[in-house]
């Protein structure tokens, strides 16, 4: 099941109706049943993966808590659970067969077990509730990675029907579909062509920009759909983006883009590593010998490890490793250089320049995703300096397509600006009923007519073209 | 109240948009209108033809009327598969009970959706056949039986309920014809017969791929069984026919199986290929595409020959004595002749 | 408290820390600063802060941070 | 205690691995290839470069399909025929069949080869008995190769899209 399939929408709509018809204490069971059905429908026999993670999480969580209560050590259970699930995740990533949502639910499961080990979360007694926490269907598809403390309670609490919340949720879904279907899927073929036929600096630069557009539309749009649907269920998931393209530095970008993954990595990789005994000891030793730089050594080690993990989480190939390391490098450089620019903070031109610069740098790094062989990527980077700049392959986009894309970008930027200045657009429109209705209708029409979806969409030579 | 009005407006706009975006089949693929034209002609037909292009291009119902007084209609559509034929028959029998149903057996060679050709073409043919059907259980069944894998993935039957989901991106190809035929389509056929007046003589026979599958598939037989049953239940005689044509090949192995099938079930099976000479088909004048399909002169010859079988072997009465039926068919005949004149004139210029 | 404020001030000389400064929002502390802070605190107070203590609630203001340090020293 | 834990982990691993194993079948299976004139020809391949490499055909015909014109094109090259249709990105190869025994499949089977040779060349082929003949199907992911035998000798060899092939 993909987010843009009409069946997904129909399924979600049906579930929503049932959800608000059953008594509050049973609502979570509706979600569980829906999620399990959806997962079976998509994965069939491969439910074994999710089942494995679910069983280990369930058993280890309980065992760890029992051990804690008796004052025994529970490290063995924790290690077994982490080891097995990480091995499963890495194994699947390595063999490129990815059961739906494995990247997301594995992180959630690990976070939960670690929290139980630390004593900050209670172990779940009800297997159903834990299963729902892992396989809650909207977020299996594109995330976000929720923390147990954020998701467990809202998932299982009763939610009375709240018209405004449901309406807000549906509005957000529509907006997500716009970004995904009208923008991201429209550029997707062009990105593919540019990746395949690299024709020098000009096309590489265009690729970087278009890929940024595609991934922004696809990812933030997908998350809007997921969060919107959850909001309609009365479940508030943590935000995953905060206008990331308005960031002034790479570090800031990563605090505003895919925030839930960043938070997970900070919580379970960065902090534990940086305060762990060996690293601390190393830091002390380094400080004695190297002074100020040595003081930052723990941070450096933790950052590198975090980015290594982040890179590998995206994919077990060289290019993702490179991508992770590039991000890491840029963050550390930014950190080192930050004091130099402290005086310029708050100046308008500086803010503008740093936002633009960050955006360009992030575009160029992100392209790394597309080239499994890093040499191709470096060749592209080099061609940015050497050219040629004029040769751009035919992207199969008509002038109408470019117009739609440009307009879409203006609308998305406008919405982001309004959000960062005045907050929720939906809240602003809530009181103006007529205006809201027609804006939403226009948005619906845009998605319906301009969206790139459906059968034969890419078939440029499709029989209907003859009519 | 205000809310309700706005909502109503929105639904009307969406409906109009959908009507606008759906293809009107006015160009060189007029076949898209064949299925929907039946409903204005339902009732009073003694013979219903069911099948693919080998029925809607190879038999002329007007000739059947003119020579034998047999009122008939062709429910044909391009690359109609057996499962589509079955559901179309089921639907037709709900509108009327003819005396004879003639099914062209060529489509039996397609056993599964995948075997009918590549996905995008299959999907286009599905649309041409299914979009024209009125809503009923038969349409739903036909859709479910016909969906390609890609269609299933993209919402399947839902895109037939709301065709806008399928044609949403046709806005860039809209022409004035889409507005002109927004509500009422042009009639393209004469009782389901799609007239072709061109002549392209057959020269060399087409090279034919080898026969790799000698037995017709189980799925095909299953649907044919269902058609047989349906006709039995309604007291309708089912006649199997292989219409004239040189290509694609109708292998003797297949012919034998159909003949055996027909004998076991006491059905009439007419293979018109060996009778081509008797029918009088001249492949240098009677085909518009070098031997694949007949043009109007060929279709009239085929109908004339086949009408005798319908009269003699199926005992169909001559309705020309009924003034009411006569009046209706005279009108149809006039339209047919007018169309023929116009098309021949266009062809000459 | 003074020792703590001094450590904070060394991290961000441009900010005037008081015991009620909201560290994450006004003080601009990011995760790098927090890790540095943790090792400074360990040196100055002898309190070992664990990974699970690194939650926003403990880092709201210097006051809450000091409370954490005291709690950890008692254990 | 330790034993129980070990058992559990093992059970989970097995569960995970069986799930892993089931998927791999669908991934495997390359389509059968025919090679002529220095090019490799597979069904669904873009026709333009192949036609260019094969040079001028000895015969050519266009066969209209039920609706729409000039959709199928048959190119004859003496010893084999190539049929193309309209795919999503233009003209694509949709069928290929051998016409005489001067050419063979890359596995060495030609018209006139006997059953033993076919079985040796295609050990994984599925054989469909069909009256007095049998057809060996070599199925790839999206295309298949049919080798038809009559009285123990190959009489026809055809490459076509998958889906038409399963034994009845």
Q: How far is residue A448's CA from residue B165's CA, in Å, rounded to a whole number?
A: 7
Structure-block tokens of residue A49: 């993966």
Tens of pLDDT, residue by residue over D107-154, are: 889 999 988 899 899 888 888 776 666 888 888 877 888 899 888 889
> What pLDDT is attached to residue A418?
92
> What pLDDT is attached to residue A456?
60
3-state SS class at D83: strand
Q: Which of C51, C57, C59, C68 to mutate to test the interface with A (most CBs of A within 10 A)?
A: C51
Count CB-CB contacts under 10 A for residue D78: 12
> What pLDDT is attached to residue B87?
97
Tens of pLDDT, residue by residue over B93-150, are: 999 999 999 999 999 988 888 777 777 778 888 999 999 999 999 999 999 999 988 8
- Indicate whether D27 pLDDT > 60: no
Tens of pLDDT, residue by residue over B12-66, are: 999 999 999 999 988 778 889 999 999 999 989 999 999 998 999 999 999 999 9
Tens of pLDDT, residue by residue over A24-71, are: 999 999 999 999 998 888 887 788 889 999 999 999 999 999 998 898
CB contact under 8 A, C38 and A274: yes
Pick left, alpha or beta for residue B252 (phi over 0 → left; psi -120 to 50 → alpha; otherwise beta). Answer: alpha
One CATH from 3.40.50.1110, 3.30.465.10, 3.40.640.10, 3.30.420.130 for B2-204+222-348 = 3.40.50.1110
Interface check B157 vs A, CB under 8 A: no
Q: How far is residue B114's CA from residue B136's CA, in Å, rounded to a whole number?
A: 25
CB contact under 8 A, A462 and B120: yes
> What pLDDT is attached to residue A310?
92
Q: How far is residue A96's CA from residue A208's CA, in Å, rounded to a whole number?
A: 25
Predicted confidence band of residue A189 (pLDDT cuts 50, 70, 90):
confident
C35 CA: distance to closest CA in chain A (Å): 7
Looking at residues A411-438, what average pLDDT do you find?
89
Structure-block tokens of residue B330: 């005279």
Give the residue numbers in A contacting B (CB under 8 Å), as ranges. Answer: 5-7, 10, 398, 400, 433-434, 437-438, 441, 445, 448-457, 459, 462-467
Structure-block tokens of residue A451: 């969206």
> What pLDDT is attached to residue C64?
87
Question: Smallest Cα–Cα separation from B296: which of B220, B242, B233, B347?
Answer: B347
Helix segments in chain B, DSSP class H? 2-21, 53-56, 61-68, 82-95, 119-130, 137-146, 149-153, 158-161, 164-167, 176-180, 218-234, 252-264, 276-279, 296-314, 323-348
Which residues in chain D are contacts of A77 at CB distance < 8 A? 5
Count CB-CB contacts under 10 A for residue C18: 13
Tens of pLDDT, residue by residue over B177-218, are: 999 999 888 899 999 999 999 998 887 777 788 888 888 888
Nearest beta carbon to residue D16 from set A52, A59, A76: A52
8 A C-beta contact, residue A370 and residue A208:
no
The DSSP 8-state label assigned to residue A347 in this structure reads -
Q: Where are the domains of chain B?
A: 2-204+222-348
Residue that wins the pLDDT comparison between A21 and D17: A21
8 A C-beta contact, residue B64 and residue B47:
yes
CB-based contacts of B124, cutoff 8 Å, min separation 6 = A462, A463, A464, D68
> What pLDDT is attached to residue D167?
60
Which residues in chain B are contacts of A450 at CB distance < 8 A? 169
> What pLDDT is attached to residue B349?
62
A1 CA: distance to closest CA in chain B (Å): 8
- Helix orientation angle between A277-290 and C31-45, rounded to the nearest 10 degrees: 80
Q: How far is residue A110's CA from residue A102's CA, in Å, rounded to a whole number?
A: 12
> What pLDDT is attached to residue A291?
72
How far from A190 is each of A362, A410, D23, CA to CA, in Å?
19, 20, 31
A178-182, A327-331, C2-6: least confidently modelled range: C2-6
Average pLDDT of chain B is 91
Tens of pLDDT, residue by residue over A75-118, are: 889 999 999 999 998 888 877 777 888 888 999 999 999 999 98
Count CB-CB contacts under 10 A for residue B172: 9
3-state SS class at D81: strand
Looking at residues D64-72, what average pLDDT do you find?
60
Sign, CA dihedral B200-B201-B203-B205, equals positive
- Indicate whether A268 pLDDT > 90: yes
> What pLDDT is attached to residue B318?
95
Residue that wins the pLDDT comparison between A345 and D23: A345
Chain B: touching chains (3 or more CB pairs < 8 Å): A, D
Residue that wins the pLDDT comparison between A416 and D19: A416
- Indicate whether D21 pLDDT > 80: no
Looking at residues A149-171, what average pLDDT do you find?
93
Note the Cα A261 to chain centre separation in Å: 7
Count CB-CB contacts under 10 A for residue D120: 12
Beta pairing class for D90-98 and D80-87: antiparallel
8 A C-beta contact, residue A215 and residue A258:
no
- Indicate whether D67 pLDDT > 80: no
Beta pairing class for D143-150 and D153-161: antiparallel
Count CB-CB contacts under 10 A for residue A96: 10
Average pLDDT of chain A is 88
- Indicate whether C45 pLDDT > 70: yes
Interface check D22 vs A, CB under 8 A: yes
A2-11, A446-455, B30-39: least confidently modelled range: A2-11
Residue that wins the pLDDT comparison between A292 and D69: A292
Q: Give the DSSP per-residue string, A76-115.
A: HHHHHHHHHHHHHHHHHHHTT---TTHHHHHHHHHHHHHH
Tens of pLDDT, residue by residue over B317-333, are: 999 999 999 999 999 99
Domains and CATH numbers, chain D: 34-161 (3.40.33.10)
User: The tokens 């943590």 sit on which residue?
Assistant: A238
Percent of chain C with pLDDT over 70: 97
CB contact under 8 A, D13 and A48: no
Residue that wins the pLDDT comparison between A405 and C41: A405
Q: Do chains B and C touch (3 or more CB pairs under 8 A)?
A: no
Looking at residues A193-220, what average pLDDT do you find?
89
Topology of domain C2-74, CATH: 1.10.1200
> What pLDDT is attached to residue D86?
74
Nearest beta carbon to residue D64 from set B117, B218, B289: B289
Q: How far is residue A147's CA from residue A109's CA, in Å, rounded to a whole number?
A: 9
Looking at residues B293-317, what average pLDDT do you find?
95
Nearest beta carbon to residue A280 from set C39, C52, C54: C39
> What pLDDT is attached to residue D18?
38
> What pLDDT is attached to residue A459?
34
Percent of chain B with pLDDT over 90: 72
Predicted confidence band of residue A369 (pLDDT cuts 50, 70, 90):
confident
3-state SS class at A161: coil
Q: Where are the domains of chain C?
A: 2-74
User: The tokens 């499963």 sit on which residue?
Assistant: A88
> What pLDDT is attached to residue A458?
46
User: The tokens 């990675």 sit on which residue?
Assistant: A145
Q: How far is residue D125's CA from residue D136's CA, in Å, rounded to a whole number?
A: 6
> What pLDDT is attached to residue C18?
81
């Amino acid at each position: 099941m993909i987010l843009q399939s009409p069946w997904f929408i129909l399924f979600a709509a049906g579930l929503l109706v049932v959800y608000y018809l059953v008594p509050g204490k049973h609502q979570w069971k509706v979600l569980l049943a829906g999620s399990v059905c959806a997962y079976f429908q998509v994965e069939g026999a491969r439910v074994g993966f999710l089942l494995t993670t679910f069983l280990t999480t369930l058993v280890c969580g309980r065992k760890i808590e029992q051990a804690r209560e008796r004052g025994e050590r529970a490290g063995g259970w924790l290690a077994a659970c982490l080891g097995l699930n990480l091995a499963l995740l890495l194994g699947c990533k390595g063999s490129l067969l990815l059961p739906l949502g494995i990247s997301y639910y594995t992180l959630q499961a690990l976070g939960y077990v670690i929290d139980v080990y630390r004593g900050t979360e209670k172990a779940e007694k009800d297997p159903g509730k834990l299963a729902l926490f892992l396989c809650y269907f909207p977020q299996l598809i594109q995330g976000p990675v929720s923390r147990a403390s954020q998701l467990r309670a809202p998932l299982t609490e009763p939610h009375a029907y709240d018209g405004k919340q449901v309406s807000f949720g549906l509005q957000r879904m529509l907006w997500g579909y716009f970004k995904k279907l009208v923008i991201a899927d429209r550029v997707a073929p062009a990105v593919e062509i540019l990746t395949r036929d690299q024709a020098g600096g000009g096309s590489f630069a265009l690729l970087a920009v278009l890929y940024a557009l595609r991934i922004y539309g696809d990812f933030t749009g997908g998350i809007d759909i997921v969060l919107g649907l959850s909001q309609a269920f009365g479940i508030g998931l943590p935000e995953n983006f905060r206008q990331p393209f308005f960031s002034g530095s790479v570090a800031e970008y990563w605090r505003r883009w895919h925030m839930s993954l960043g938070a997970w990595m900070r919580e379970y990789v960065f902090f534990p590593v940086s305060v762990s005994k060996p690293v601390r000891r190393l830091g002390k030793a380094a400080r004695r010998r190297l002074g100020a730089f040595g003081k930052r050594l723990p941070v450096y080690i933790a950052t590198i490890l975090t980015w290594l993990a982040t890179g590998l989480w995206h994919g077990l190939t060289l290019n993702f490793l490179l991508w992770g390391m590039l991000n890491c490098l840029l963050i550390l450089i930014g950190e080192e250089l930050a004091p130099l620019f402290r005086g310029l903070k708050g100046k308008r031109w500086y803010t503008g320049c740093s936002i633009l610069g960050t955006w360009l740098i992030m575009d160029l790094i992100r392209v790394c995703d597309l080239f499994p062989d890093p040499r191709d990527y470096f060749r592209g980077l080099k061609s940015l300096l050497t050219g040629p700049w004029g040769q751009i392959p035919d992207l199969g986009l008509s002038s109408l397509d470019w117009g739609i894309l440009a307009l879409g970008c203006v609308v998305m930027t406008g919405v982001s600006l309004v959000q960062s200045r005045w907050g929720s657009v939906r809240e602003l429109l809530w009181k103006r009923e007529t205006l809201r209705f027609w804006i939403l209708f226009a948005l619906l029409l845009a998605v319906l007519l301009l969206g790139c979806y459906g059968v034969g969409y890419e078939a440029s030579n499709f029989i209907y073209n003859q009519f | 109240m205000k809310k309700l009005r706005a909502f109503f407006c929105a639904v009307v706009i969406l409906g109009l948009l959908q009507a606008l975006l759906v293809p009107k089949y006015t160009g060189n693929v007029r076949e898209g209108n064949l299925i929907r034209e039946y409903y204005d002609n339902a009732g009073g037909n003694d013979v219903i033809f069911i099948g693919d292009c080998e029925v809607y291009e190879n038999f002329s119902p007007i000739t059947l009327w003119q020579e034998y007084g047999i009122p008939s209609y062709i429910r044909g559509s391009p690359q109609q598969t057996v499962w589509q034929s079955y559901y179309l028959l089921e639907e037709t029998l709900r509108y009327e009970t003819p005396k004879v149903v003639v099914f062209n057996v060529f489509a039996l060679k397609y056993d599964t959706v995948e075997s009918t050709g590549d996905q995008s073409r299959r999907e286009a043919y599905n649309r041409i056949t299914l979009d024209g059907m009125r809503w009923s259980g038969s349409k739903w069944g036909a859709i479910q039986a016909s969906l390609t894998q890609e269609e299933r993935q993209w919402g399947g039957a839902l895109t037939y309920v709301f065709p806008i989901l399928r044609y949403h991106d046709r806005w860039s190809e809209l022409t004035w014809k889409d507005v002109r035929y927004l509500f009422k389509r042009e009639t393209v056929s004469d009782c389901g017969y799609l007239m072709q007046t061109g002549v392209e003589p057959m020269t060399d026979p087409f090279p034919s791929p080898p026969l790799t599958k000698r037995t017709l598939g189980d799925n095909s037989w299953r649907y044919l069984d269902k058609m047989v049953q349906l006709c039995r239940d309604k007291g309708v005689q089912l006649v199997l026919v292989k219409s004239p044509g040189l290509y694609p090949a109708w292998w003797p192995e297949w012919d034998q199986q159909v003949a055996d099938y027909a004998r076991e079930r006491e059905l009439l099976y007419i293979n018109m290929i060996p009778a081509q000479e008797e029918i009088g088909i001249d492949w240098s004048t009677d085909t518009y595409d070098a031997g694949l399909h007949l043009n109007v002169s060929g279709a009239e010859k085929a109908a004339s020959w086949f009408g005798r079988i319908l009269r003699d072997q199926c005992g169909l009465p001559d309705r020309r004595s009924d003034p009411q039926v006569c009046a209706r068919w005279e009108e149809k005949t006039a339209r047919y002749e007018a169309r023929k004149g116009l098309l021949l004139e266009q062809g000459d210029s | 408290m003074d020792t703590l404020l001094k450590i904070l001030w060394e991290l961000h000389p441009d900010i005037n820390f008081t015991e009620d400064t909201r560290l994450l929002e006004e003080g601009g502390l990011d995760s790098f600063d927090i890790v540095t802070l943790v090792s400074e605190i360990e040196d100055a107070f002898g309190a070992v802060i664990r990974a699970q203590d690194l939650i926003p609630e403990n880092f709201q203001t210097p006051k809450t941070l000091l409370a954490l340090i005291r709690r950890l020293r008692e254990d | 205690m330790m034993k129980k834990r070990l058992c559990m982990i093992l059970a989970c691993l097995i569960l995970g691995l069986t799930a892993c194993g089931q998927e791999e079948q669908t991934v495997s299976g390359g389509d059968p290839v025919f090679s002529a004139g220095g090019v490799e020809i597979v069904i669904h391949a873009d026709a333009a470069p192949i036609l260019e490499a094969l040079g001028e055909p000895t015969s050519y015909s266009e066969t209209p399909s039920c609706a729409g014109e000039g959709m199928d094109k048959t190119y004859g090259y003496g010893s084999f025929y190539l049929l193309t249709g309209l795919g999503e990105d233009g003209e694509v190869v949709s069928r290929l069949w051998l016409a005489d025994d001067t050419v063979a499949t890359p596995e060495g089977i030609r018209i006139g080869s006997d059953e033993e040779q076919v079985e040796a060349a295609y050990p994984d082929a599925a054989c469909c008995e069909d009256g007095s003949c049998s057809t060996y199907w070599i199925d790839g992911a999206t295309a298949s190769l049919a080798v038809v035998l009559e009285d123990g000798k190959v009489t026809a060899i055809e490459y076509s899209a998958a889906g038409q092939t399963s034994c009845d």
